[in-house]
A and B are shown apart, each in its own frame.
Chain A
Amino acid sequence: MSIIEDVREIIASHGKLPVDVATLADDADLYAAGLSSFASVQLMLALEERFDIEFPETMLNRKTFASIGAISSAVAELAPQERVA
């Protein structure tokens, strides 16, 4: 599975979105789609666990979690190389 598919799956299970994640484009604004502050924290923790990464403090902001694409590139940047391949 690619990172982006994993990310979509984690958003579906932890994002508590009022819409189906499958209907969202990679660049769709997740906050506009209903992602709350608390849900974004849970999403952050779930991503860390799934990909075995730790978001540095500089990335703990809204921009990092603004879209499926943004999350995927943040994960790709932090994940060990072999997992990205």
Chain B
Amino acid sequence: MDMQSSLLDRLLAAGLLIDTGIDGLYGRSGAFEDVIARFEKLIDVHAPADARPEVIRFPPGMNRTHFEGSGYMKSFPQLAGTVHSFCGCELDHANLLQCIAEGGDWTEGQKATDVVLTPAACYPLYPVIAKRGPLPEGGGLFDLQSYCFRHEPSKDPARMQLFRMREFVRMGTPDQVTEFREDWMERGQALISAVGLDVELDTANDPFFGRAGKMMGNSQREQKLKFELLIPVTSSAKKTACLSFNYHQDHFGTTWGLTTHDGATAHTACVGFGLERIALALFARHGLETADWPADVRKALWG
């Protein structure tokens, strides 16, 4: 039985997701959005009360120069999405219309703009913070949320092309950022247990491209730079990563010249919540009608 298409089919039939004709690109219903909004509130409840992050919301597009500088194309060229626009004259426009009318490839003449779709919520942050100068003595802590794009069309509802990622990002000394990550690995498990989902913490690696990527991925695993919380969504055998805990070491610090208050290269880490994946896990586990969810889960989310 094809469990993946069956969950997607059930979500579409229930009107929780709305088909656009493109795999991985869906509209969301009010009920679906309410689950995400409530879960985001619950994230705030589980966040450490004494740490006040700076809240920043970037649009889902980022500065192309920053995207290029981040090295994303070295690792994930297959996932990136660039924004292109028509930049021609009136004659070019006439030719464009003719090409469309004839069913030709009208996109050939589109030119790259200065905007790239955000691949992960934290990517626009590092260059912007580096530009402010050295971090304050306690380092930096940020609260982000953004739609992110990854070009990987799929019938698996847990693998959307446009999805939201909530993130907390820590910048500072190696001790400050590794402590932040350890703390969130505990908090993340408590948070997911609070909404009645089974969790499993595991080391992981990003889907780096090609054979060089295999090496990067193995190295990431061996150094335990990435952990994921795995939760059953479309299958209980093959679980889906819904939270990730990433230690970038000095990668972004070196890339952007981000320094601690005393001039050392800053280390960074982030914890990311895949909001659609978590909502999908909740619907898959507790049913498509939120009114029928278990009382303790409803209490955790709706109070």
Contact = CB atoms under 8 A, between A and B. Distances in A.
Interface of A: 37-38, 40-41, 44-45, 55, 57, 60-63
Given A37-B219, A62-B219, A62-B222, A57 B74 contact: no
Nearest to B222: A62
B218 A62 contact: yes
Does more than half of chain A's interface fall in helix, strand or loop, or is it mixed? helix
B212 interface: yes
A38 B74 CA distance: 9
A20 B222 CA distance: 26
A60 B74 contact: no
A60 B222 contact: no
A37 B249 CA distance: 11
A41 B215 CA distance: 7
> Which of B74, B211, B222 has the most chain A CB atoms inside 10 A of its CB?
B211
B236 interface: no
20 contacts: A37-B216, A37-B219, A37-B220, A40-B215, A41-B216, A44-B212, A45-B212, A57-B214, A60-B211, A60-B214, A60-B215, A60-B218, A61-B215, A61-B218, A61-B219, A61-B222, A62-B218, A62-B222, A62-B223, A63-B222
A41 B218 contact: no
Nearest to B217: A60
A64 to B, nearest CB: 9
Contacts of A44: 212, 215
A41 B216 CA distance: 7
Interface string B235-273: 000000000000000000000000000000000000000
Nearest to B254: A36
Interface in B154-201: none
Contacts of B71: 38
A45 B223 CA distance: 21
B66 to A, nearest CB: 18
B217 to A, nearest CB: 9
A60 B216 CA distance: 8
B242 to A, nearest CB: 26
Nearest to A42: B212
Contacts of B74: 38
Interface in B31-85: 71, 74
> Which of A37, A40, A62, A63 has the most chain B CB atoms inside 10 A of its CB?
A37
> Which of B212, B222, B223 has the most chain A CB atoms inside 10 A of its CB?
B212
A38 B70 CA distance: 13
A17 B286 CA distance: 53
A70 to B, nearest CB: 14
